[in-house]
Structure formats: structure tokens, C-alpha cells
Structure 1
Amino acid sequence: MKLTIRERLCYGCGDLGSQFAYNLVTTYLMIFFTDILGLSSVAAGTIFLIATAFDAINDPLMGSIADHTKTKHGSYRPYMMAAAIPYGIFLALCFVAPEWSYSGKLAWAYVMYLLYVIFSTMFQMPYGSLSNVMTDDLKERTMLGAFRDWGANLAGFLLNMFAVTIITHFSASDQNMDKRGYLALGIIVAVCCVLFTSVAALGTKERIRPPKNTAKLTESLKSIGQNKPALCILFMVFFINSFVAFRSTFTTYYALYYLGDENMIPMILTTMYTLPLLGLLFVPKLIEMMGNKRMFIISGLCAILSGGLSLLAGTNTTLVVLSAIFGGLTLSGVFANIWGCMPNVADYGEWKTGIRAPGLIYGLATFAIKLAVALSTYLVGWLLDWGGYVGSLEVQADHTVQFIYMANGVLPILFGIIGIVMILPYNLTQEKMVKIKTELANMRKGREK
């Protein structure tokens, strides 16, 4: 079932909007909490960790609810429509710094971030499952994954290109990065988030009406345990996104305190998000030629090379940028591949267990992404505290600076190695999927009789 370019673009706008929010949070919210709101690095990291513990229930539950919903607008789009506006509002409020006591500021950060997480989940869970009911064509699903990832990386490119400029422009001194500048950036990104997520909700269509899902949540969760390809994807998502989240959050500290140049923040992160904008033009064809598994392994190797080059670079700008390029190649090959695989592992699960749960699978994948962000951010806070980082100091101690340099290289290497190990058991080939789809169609016909 072929889709129009317009609908592919509308679908890609969903990640364009949500990844504006995601990149803003992963790159700037931690340093906003520590350097602007005045929270300790451990307290700030704990906020992300607790929100993710909440998501352990929230994400799979939202995915399962969407799977069981039937309306004239479909199962997934109604939730996307309802979530878009509050999603943006609470994103902007995360970057408000009230003049309260430390406890009051901490409570504000917790409440605003948790509300942001709730509406983020309300959009992202149904959005992730939407491609499963837009088309059953394997190549179209891969193409939707590429459009989605192109939107995500365009958001990362634009945000990291202009974020520092926007913050400094709206800051009181027009040079330092203060609370006025961060709030201005938060509002601008929130507007983009609302606009593009609404386009995705309104510009797509649910064509496939899957059989009614009568399985209980516990039964659906049990079926995931029997779905080896889904488990491989979930673990790969976690470790590669740990690489992305760590780099996004830690680059700010690395550029400011090790490289000593705030302008290196957009240079590094924009480079990382520029490569996928070009690379994704070729990813669907590369996946078709090499298969999903080999593409995942290559992405993991690029993460390892990115970390290794960072260790070799020191303050050499050329090697720092080359490290960022391999980080971008990691993004190019992995996320379009993951989103293209999601409908396939859902079909495999239904074929193997008789239980259809695309929303739940996507919910678990998104939870893995958020868990990676939270644990990576908590890890950043813990590492900074362990390394002696003090947010109120403009110049950090020498041992802290060296610690930041080492962590920026070693952690990406570890994430890349573990990500490769996790994907090795994945065994869904194109040929196997054709066989599964044929048998699954016959199974569905049998259930309808």
C-alpha cells in the first residue's frame, strides 16, 4: 500500500515536533537545573530518574490503552490530537526559574517535568504505533521510519544550530546564558512542538483495521517475553540512545569546561545531527541491501569510533568534529532502522503468540529510550559530582576538567560495544518477514470466520 509524499512528510513531522522537545530537554534542561535553577547535579539527575520510574508504568499502559481504543478517527490519532497543546505548554514551563526557596524550586522542577512527561507519553506512544496501521507494505514501513528519523534529526540540527544564539540573544547581558534566554528558547521550541505534532496527527490516516485486541495487559506483556526480535530491538534502543543522550547532555559541560568555548556546543551537536539529514537519504536502500542486523552493527561500531576519537582529540578541533561525525553516522543508521523494524516485530509477535500488541511494544521501546535518557542524565549528574564539579564556579578544578574529558570518550565506547552485543540474536530477515506476513494474513482470516 503506497503512501503519498505528503502523508510521509506529515508523519515525519511528528518526530520533528517531539524531537525539538526531546533535544531541548536532553541537551539543556540538566544544565538549566544546575546552573540557572541552582539545584545540585545529583538532585537534578534524580528528577530524570524518578520521572522515568513513573514512565515504567505510564508508557506501556498508554500503549496498551491505545491498542484497545476504537474510534471513527482510529486508535492512535485521537490521543495525538489531544496531547499536542499541553505537551508544548509544560515543556516551556520546565524552563521557568521561580525566585523561590531551594525546596520550592526543586518541587517546581519535579511537577513541571512530570507533567511534561505525561503529555509527551500521550503523544509518543500512539505516534510510534501509527505506522503499523498506515500501511502493511514492508518498504513503505522502512520509508516511514526514514522520514520519521529525518524529521528527528532536522529538529536536532536546527535546535543545536540556533539554541545558544537564541539563549544569549534573549539573556539580560546579551552574552551570558541566563534564565531569560533559556525561557525564550523553551517558548520557541514549545511552539514548534505543538505545530508539528498537530500536523502529524491531522495529516495522516489509519487505513488498516486490525482485529480487536482482547488480550489483557499481563498477557500482552508475557507475549513480549516470547518475542526475541522485540527484545533485541528494545535493548539496542536502550544502549544506543544512552550514547545519544549522554553525548547530548555531556557535550554542554565538555565544551564549556574542557574545550573552554561555548561555541563548540552547536558545532559538535549540529555536526552530529547534520550527517543523518544526508545519510537518511540512503538508509532505506542500505537496509534493503545489507539487512537490519548488519546496519545496527555498523551503527554500534560508529559509536565506538566516536568515543575513541574523542579520547585522541584532546582540544584538537578537527578530531573533535570528526568524533561528532561518527556520532552522526551512528544516528544515521540506527533510529530509522529501529522505527522501520517496529511494525515487523509486532507482526512477528502476533504470528508467534496470537497476541497483537504494537502499541505496547512501542510503549516499551519509548520507555527504553526515556530510561536511557534518565539513567544517562543521572549518570552525568553522578559523574560530575564524583569528579568534583561545582555549578556555581565559572572555572572548574583541573582534575574535574580532566575527568570530563575522559568520561566524554569512554562512555560512548562502552555503549557502542554493549549495543552490538544486544543486537546479535536478532533474526528477522526480509525473506522471513514475507513468510510471516503471508501466514499472518491467513491466521487473521481464520479468526474472522
Structure 2
Amino acid sequence: MITEELFNKDTTRLERLSIKEKMGFGFGDAACNMIWGPITMFLTYFYTDIYRLDPALIASLLLFVRVFDAVADPFMGAVADRTRSRWGRFRPYLLWGAVPFVISCMMMFYTPEASERFKIFYAFAAYFILSGIYTIVNIPYCSLGGVITSNPEERVSCQQYRFAMAGVAILFCSLTLLPLVEFLGSGNRQMGFFWAMTLFALMGLAMFLTCFYTTRERVKALQENEEGIFRSFISILKNDQWVICAAGMFLDCVPSFIRGGAIIFFAKYVMQLNTTWITLFMSVGVAATILGSMLTKYFTTRWCKVRVYIGIKLVLVFMSLGFYLIDPLNLTLMLVFYVVLNIIHQITTPILWSFIGDVDDYGEWKLGKRMSGICASGNLFALKLSLAFCGAFIAITLSLTDYIPDNPAQPAQALSGILFLVSLVPAIGYLASALLFRFYRLDRHTMREIQLALLAREKSVKRDER
């Protein structure tokens, strides 16, 4: 019989991860965000104001590529689940995919001197290739978070380090990208973007390798999943808590992607800031998310992380509407508000990602199958669908409200559309997330019971093997 004391000995003390390994794990997401962070924040701006594509065309591009990429995610998860190597199932892809990821990033931000038709084709092809390689690297990385430890508290801690370090990477990018574009391009913003993103990609390469060499996979499936890929897709749908988690991932990303993609337009055209102040405003917001990530464990060690998640989302509903109440020309007040909003927003992010390992444990307990790759990739599928929806939604909103690229004097309806994107849409996303997770059952007590049952099952299997 597995007692509470034995459980603590086996899953808490023995799987307490070192700071070095947690930081190594965090370097993986930092690497991803050296490339994906600027894409989230600046891609729509790059395509409208630098590459000079029509916003409606951008909406089509983002929607098509991101939906296709999202559909590919579960297949990559299934492939990773079936990978066998001396480095584990998921870590090898950090090694194999890092260099192609760098090259695809360079292609993505290169602006060819060619006809309009060829530029449209090139933009589609480059974004398609980058998204595909990102899938090959990022799905295994996200799966690694569920097998690096089986301790639910350490999973939150790993995600805390992950998002803090990802925040540092995004902060670095937001602080330096636009100045580097000016410096490296010598007035040519097209070349400036290319060389700046090349530099970021090479830094990401070093971080991927650091993650590979400093982490290891500890959680092993008690029984190998011999199902075919399509049958595994059907099996994961029987995990009702995974379905909630994946749907929650879609909703949770709406405030991040909508506001994150529109904030540069808000700072430039509504707040009327110059390039220097835009960089500072966005960077302070990113710095606030780092602090928010580091505060997560303070809340989750005192209260059940599910209750913390729901409560903070409800607070954010009302805070998000603050953009309508604050004078955008009052820089000091807006800056303070934006910092506080981002701190509170980010507290829930490590919690959400820790749920992925929990629902994987729940699936093994309920169905007798561990499907870490498909479990993580299904959530990435939801994330990328959200990214596709949000990118297209931003571009369509700009088009419908008569946004004029790179024009300091925007029409009143364009300014209202931008304010709608940074305030009301995120508020709706926060509320929907809070309501959905009222049906999520894997609270602290339930997870402890599941861990006890899995530990008992593991010991039974080991006894039978002897």
C-alpha cells in the first residue's frame, strides 16, 4: 500500500529539480521566443508597413498557414511519442531542429526585390516553412515539460522558470529589435529586420543546445502505446480534462495574441509615441510579465492552482476594460496601468501550462495510456488555432476600420478599432477562460490521489517484472 509518506519520498524529494535544470528547461522557451516573440509582436506590422502587403491579404496568409500548421501539431506529437533514442523521446528534436529553425527565420524576414506576385508567394512559402520547423522543435519541447518530473509542484516551478526566461528573451527583443533595425539597416528597414532577426535566431540556437544538454526525461510510460496515430487521436478525446485544457488554451491565448499583436498600433497611433517610446512602452510591459511569472509560485503554494487561475482571470476581465477609462495621452498613468495589467496577466500562464502534465497523468490513470506528445501537441494545436484566429482578426479589424499603413493621422474608426483590440476583445477572452475552467476537476486534492494511484501501479508493475 502506498502511504502519503512514501509518496512524498518518491515523488517530491527524489524529483526535486536543480535550479540549473530548471533554467536549462527555460532556455528552450527563451530560444523559441527569440524568434516567435518578435513574430507575435511585430509580424503584422512588418507585413503592412515594411513588406507592404494589404492587411486583408495578410489575414488570409496568417489564417491559412497557421491553421495548416496547427493541424500538423498532433501528428508531430504522435511521432515524438513513438521516438526512441539514447536521449529520450523529446530532447533529440531540440538538437536536430535548431539549425533549420535559424535558417527558416532568416528566410522569413528577407524581403526580395521582385514583383508583387512573387513577394506574396515568397511570404506564404517562408512563413509556411518557418511554422513547420517551429512545430518540429516546439512540440517536443512542450512535451518535455510533462516528463521532466512527475511532481505537480515542480511542474509549476519549471513552467515558472520557463516563462520568466521566455519573458527575458521577449524583453530583449522588444528593447532591441527596432533600434537594431535602424542600426543594422542604415535607414533600410527591410534589411534591418533581416539582420536583426538573423542575430536573434543565432542566439536562439545557442539556447536550444543549452536546453538539450542540461535537461533529462524522467517520467516513463508504464505501458508503451502501440496504437496507430489516428487511433491515438481518438483515445486522447476520451480524456475529458484534456479537452477542457485544450479548449482553455485557445481561449487563454486570445488576450495575449490580440493585445500583443495590436499594442504596437495602440502605442504608435493612439498614444502617439515615437519609435523610442514605443520600444520602451512595449519593453516595460514584457518586463512586467517576467515578474508575473516569478509570482506564480507564491500563489500556488498557498492556494489550489485551479482556483488561483479562475480568480485571476475574473480580475483581468475588469482590468482589461481600463483602456477605455484612461487617457492614452497620459503616458505615466497608461504605463503604470499596463505594467500592473501584465504582471497580473502572466501569473496564470505557468499554471495553464502545468495543467498539460496533469491531464497527461490523469489520462494514464483513467485510460492506462501515457500520451505526452499528443497531449502537449493538442494544446499547441489549440494555441496555433488561436494564433491564426487572432492574427486574422487583427488584420481584418484594421481593414474594416480603414487603417492606413504608416500614416500618423489615422481615421477615427481605425483608432476605435485598435482600442477595441487591446481592451474589449481580451476582456471577453478572460471571461470565457474563467467560465470554462469551472468544469476542470484536477485540483490539488485530486492530483494527489492520482499520483498515489500511479505510484502504486508503477510499483506493482516492477514487482511483476521481477
Shorter-chain TM-score tier? over 0.9
Which of 94, 105, 113 in structure 2 is aligned with 1:91?
105
**What is the Cα deviation at residue 144 of structure 1?**
0.9
Moved more, 311-320 or 178-187: 311-320
Pairs within 5 Å for 1:246-285 = 246-261=258-273, 262-285=275-298
Structure 2 vs 1, CA of residues 83 and 105 (structure 1 numbering), >3 Å: closer, same or farther? same
- Are residue 367 (structure 1) and residue 378 (structure 2) matched? no
Which of 141, 148, 170 in structure 1 is aligned with 2:162?
148
Aligned identity (percent) is 23
**What is the Cα deviation at residue 394 of structure 1?**
4.3
Which of 360, 384, 387 in structure 1 is aligned with 2:398?
384
**What is the Cα deviation at residue 285 of structure 1?**
3.2
Q: How many residues align?
A: 446
**What is the Cα deviation at residue 94 of structure 1?**
1.0
- Are residue 231 (structure 1) and residue 250 (structure 2) matched? no
- The one-letter amino acid paired with 1:237 is M
Counterpart of 1:182 in structure 2 is 193
Counterpart of 1:19 in structure 2 is 33
- 1:296–1:334: 8 Å Cα contact kept in structure 2? yes
- Are residue 340 (structure 1) and residue 354 (structure 2) matched? yes
Which of 58, 80, 86 in structure 1 is aligned with 2:72?
58
Moved more, 188-197 or 394-403: 394-403
Which of 174, 181, 195 in structure 1 is aligned with 2:206?
195
Partners of 1:103 and 1:113 in 2: CA distance: 16
Pairs within 5 Å for 1:42-441 = 42-173=56-187, 178-210=189-221, 211-261=223-273, 262-315=275-328, 316-391=330-405, 393-441=407-455
What are the Cα deviations for residues 394-432 of structure 1, in whole angstroms up to 9, with x where unaligned? 432233223323332211111111111121111112221
Partners of 2:256 and 2:295 in 1: CA distance: 21
Partners of 2:83 and 2:325 in 1: CA distance: 52
Partners of 1:281 and 1:258 in 2: CA distance: 31
- 1:298–1:333: 8 Å Cα contact kept in structure 2? no
What stretches of structure 2 of length at least 5 have no aligned partner?
A: 1-14
- The one-letter amino acid paired with 2:432 is I
TM-score by length of 1: 0.94
Partners of 1:2 and 1:333 in 2: CA distance: 22
- The one-letter amino acid paired with 1:220 is S
**What is the Cα deviation at residue 444 of structure 1?**
4.4
TM-score by length of 2: 0.90
- 1:29–1:95: 8 Å Cα contact kept in structure 2? no
**What is the Cα deviation at residue 198 of structure 1?**
1.7
Partners of 1:266 and 1:300 in 2: CA distance: 27
- 2:291–2:343: 8 Å Cα contact kept in structure 1? no
Partners of 1:320 and 1:236 in 2: CA distance: 29
**What is the Cα deviation at residue 392 of structure 1?**
5.6
- 2:394–2:421: 8 Å Cα contact kept in structure 1? no
What are the Cα deviations for residues 282-335 of structure 1, in whole angstroms up to 9, with x where unaligned? 312311212121221233235324421111123222342234224312442122
Partners of 2:369 and 2:61 in 1: CA distance: 35
**What is the Cα deviation at residue 57 of structure 1?**
2.6
- 1:388–1:400: 8 Å Cα contact kept in structure 2? yes
What are the Cα deviations for residues 138-192 of structure 1, in whole angstroms up to 9, with x where unaligned? 222221111111111111221112222222223333xxx7212211221121112
Partners of 2:169 and 2:406 in 1: CA distance: 31
Partners of 1:168 and 1:250 in 2: CA distance: 22
What stretches of structure 1 of length at least 5 have no aligned partner?
A: none
Find the residue that maps to 1:71 and give its secondary structure: coil
- The one-letter amino acid paired with 1:213 is N
- The one-letter amino acid paired with 1:195 is A
Structure 2 vs 1, CA of residues 24 and 115 (structure 1 numbering), >3 Å: closer, same or farther? same
Partners of 1:263 and 1:162 in 2: CA distance: 10
Partners of 2:312 and 2:452 in 1: CA distance: 31
What are the Cα deviations for residues 192-238 of structure 1, in whole angstroms up to 9, with x where unaligned? 22111121122211233323221233333233323232222222221
RMSD across aligned positions (CA): 1.9
